[in-house]
Structure 1
Amino acid sequence: MIKNIFLNFICYFSFGIICLLGNIIFIPIILLGLNKNLKVQFFCRDLVRIFWGIFLKICCISGKIKIEFKEKNVNFCSCLIMANHPSLLDVVFMLANLPRINCVVKASLKKNIFLFGAIKASGYISNEDEERLLGYCLDALRKGENLLIFPEGTRTKESIVFHKAAFYIAINAAKKLRAYKIDMDKTALKQNHIWYKTPNIKYIFSLEKDIDITEFYNDLPNPLRVRKLHSQIEKFYQKELKNE
């Protein structure tokens, strides 16, 4: 029990230190207004990938986490990437493995002392303004960026329910949709989870669907395409996760 608490502390402590060290670079970039440039945002996203990759290695070396990421081909652009959202660390895993992707983040994280620097410097999209959120997401994809969205909007609870906004974005601006399934062998790191009770966890990230949006029911009007895409993806996740 004491060993488990100690290892959990090491992992959480290392995450905090890594984020604060990152802020030494990110904050000056924000203050100088350089984070409005896409090339600078890409540079910051590369740093996020490196920093969080180091954090994940620490977790793996400690034995707290084992990770299998079954697909790393990222030779694409204007792709909407989505996944189910079972834990706090899902975003960390995805951003550490898929280079330079943009991401929709919770508005409250922009006030987090550890994460605000990376979020603002990297140009990640906040969900604080729902009216502008769609526009920001559409613009990012139309510029050729790849965008990560968790369509549940929050971490997975008892069942999978996806919001249609993600599929509207896919149909209206993306060239491709990639759907990942995140499997955990133990329930942990959910909302209101007590940090020191985190068990050793095995994560498996697998690419399950790769859809060419330009060819997806392109003979139908976009509202119908959105409904079909939403129905297809949501049913897939509900079936797959129910069978686990």
Structure 2
Amino acid sequence: MRFLRIRKLWQVLTAAISYFLFGLGALVVGIFFRLLSPIPFISPKTKQIWIRWCIHKGCLTFIRLMRLFGLIRYRFDVESMIKAQPGHIVIANHPSLIDVVLLLAVNKKLCCFVKSAVWDNFFTGAVVKLAGFIPNHAEQVVPMASAKLKAGENILIFPEGTRTKDDNIIRFKRGAANMAVAVNAPIMPVLINCYPRALKKGDKWYDIPAGGPAFSLTSGRLIALSECIDVTLPKPRQYRQLTQFLQHYYENWLEAEQSAKSTAIENMQ
């Protein structure tokens, strides 16, 4: 019992250190780029490259620190995402609090949607604006996203809109499908597995199972819209059709992963 208490205390302490350093790093980067933003002789493109590199390295350092402390384990199989042609939408299921951190740690070329609280903050606002991210409360979200995709950027969207519920059932909303159809963009699917489930909606930041959850990120092949929906249909029907296709795609993918895991366990016994 005493050992369990000490182990839990260690988890809470190291998680607090990890999140504190992550927040401190974000603050330092925010201050630096707040001071950098008015400098006229550095082009916006250069500033965007710098800030996205900082975000990428910050997220990578954070997950490496959590792994060092034994809070998480992870495995990435995302070569198809890294090598895919630019100008696509990256979608992923959303089982945990740190999914976006994991994705930014493996791909520094992602453009994200950000909440108004982050966009309007004095420090974080400078970072996300210079990074070229998109405010999700903007009136011209679709034209902004279209311009990013045409410029060869890749946009990250979580079709569930929020973290997966405790029942682990995928429930896709129409946002990602609407965006893909509106700008006629191909889709790069990424499957995030977290076992055992941790840092899910409603969990405290320190609620981490013993030994740490194991995360795996797997990317599929790039999907063209013409492969999965009838692009001659009216737009509203295309939205619904694509949402249903993507939800079934992930349901089948998760089922196949679970079946493979069960088979592996049975072969080990």
> Which of 147, 165, 168 is equivalent to 2:175?
165
> Which of 16, 24, 43 is equivalent to 2:23?
16
What is the CA RMSD across the aligned residues, in angstroms?
2.7
Q: How many Å apart are 1:36 and its aligned residue?
A: 8.6
Q: Is the 8 A contact 1:180 1:209 kept in 2?
A: no
Quote the Cα distance in structure 1 between the aligned partners of 2:176 and 2:48.
23
Aligned to 2:14: 7
Matched residue type, 2:178:
Y
Assess, with a 3 A threshold, how the Cα gap between structure 1 residues 219 and 166 changes in structure 2: closer, same or farther. closer
Moved more, 75-84 or 210-219: 210-219
Matched residue type, 2:59:
W
Q: How many Å apart are 1:111 and its aligned residue?
A: 5.0
Q: How many Å apart are 1:241 and its aligned residue?
A: 4.1
Quote the Cα distance in structure 2 between the aligned partners of 1:214 and 1:226.
13
Query: Does 2:218 match 1:206?
Result: yes
Query: Counterparts of 1:178-197 in structure 2 under 5 Å?
Result: 178-197=188-207
- What is the TM-score with the length of structure 2 in the denominator? 0.79
Q: How many Å apart are 1:213 and its aligned residue?
A: 3.4
Aligned to 1:156: 164
- What is the TM-score with the length of structure 1 in the denominator? 0.86
Q: Is the 8 A contact 1:18 1:55 kept in 2?
A: no
Q: Is the 8 A contact 2:111 2:153 kept in 1?
A: yes
Matched residue type, 1:203:
F
Q: Is the 8 A contact 1:82 1:150 kept in 2?
A: yes
Secondary structure of the 1:163 match is: coil
- Ranges in structure 1 where 5+ consecutive residues have no aligned partner: none
Aligned to 1:146: 154
Secondary structure of the 1:179 match is: strand
Aligned to 2:131: 122
Quote the Cα distance in structure 1 between the aligned partners of 2:62 and 2:123.
14
The percentage of aligned residue pairs carrying the same residue is 27
Q: How many Å apart are 1:226 and its aligned residue?
A: 3.4
- Ranges in structure 2 where 5+ consecutive residues have no aligned partner: 1-7, 259-269
> Which of 77, 101, 105 is equivalent to 2:110?
101
Q: How many Å apart are 1:203 and its aligned residue?
A: 0.5
| Corresponding pairs, count | 243
Assess, with a 3 A threshold, how the Cα gap between structure 1 residues 36 and 242 changes in structure 2: closer, same or farther. farther
> Which of 70, 76, 84 is equivalent to 2:93?
84
Q: Which has the larger radius of gyration?
A: 2
Quote the Cα distance in structure 1 between the aligned partners of 2:22 and 2:231.
48
Moved more, 60-69 or 116-125: 116-125
Assess, with a 3 A threshold, how the Cα gap between structure 1 residues 204 and 198 changes in structure 2: closer, same or farther. same
Matched residue type, 1:180:
V
